[in-house]
Amino acid sequence: MPAQYIVTLVPDQHEQLQRTVCAHQSSARQRTRARILRAADTSQATGHGESVGTL
C-alpha cells in the first residue's frame, strides 16, 4: 500500500520525538504517535526498518 502522507522531519524535530519516545513522563498515546512519526520520516532513511510496535 502506498504511503498516504509523506513525513519529512528536520533533525531538531527528530530529536524531540526521540526524547518523547524515551520519556516516561509522556502518555502512552504521545509516545506511540512519536514512534509512528519517526517511522514514517523519509529524511532519516537509515535502513534499520524500525517497527512501530517495538517498545
Please report whether residue 52 resides in a domain.
no
What is the pTM assigned to this prediction? Answer: 0.68
Cα four-point dihedral sign 33, 35, 39, 45:
positive
Please report whether residue 27 resides in a domain.
yes
Please report whether residue 19 resides in a domain.
yes
- Residue 8 — pLDDT band, cuts 50, 70, 90? very high
The total number of residues shown for the chain amounts to 55
Please report whether residue 49 resides in a domain.
no
The boundaries of the domain holding residue 36 are 1-44
Please give the tally of structural domains in the chain.
1
* Residue pair 20/34 in contact by the 8 Å Cβ criterion: yes
Q: Which helix (H) or strand (E) holds 28?
A: helix 28-40
User: Chain centroid to CA 32: how far?
Assistant: 8
- Residue 55 — pLDDT band, cuts 50, 70, 90? very low
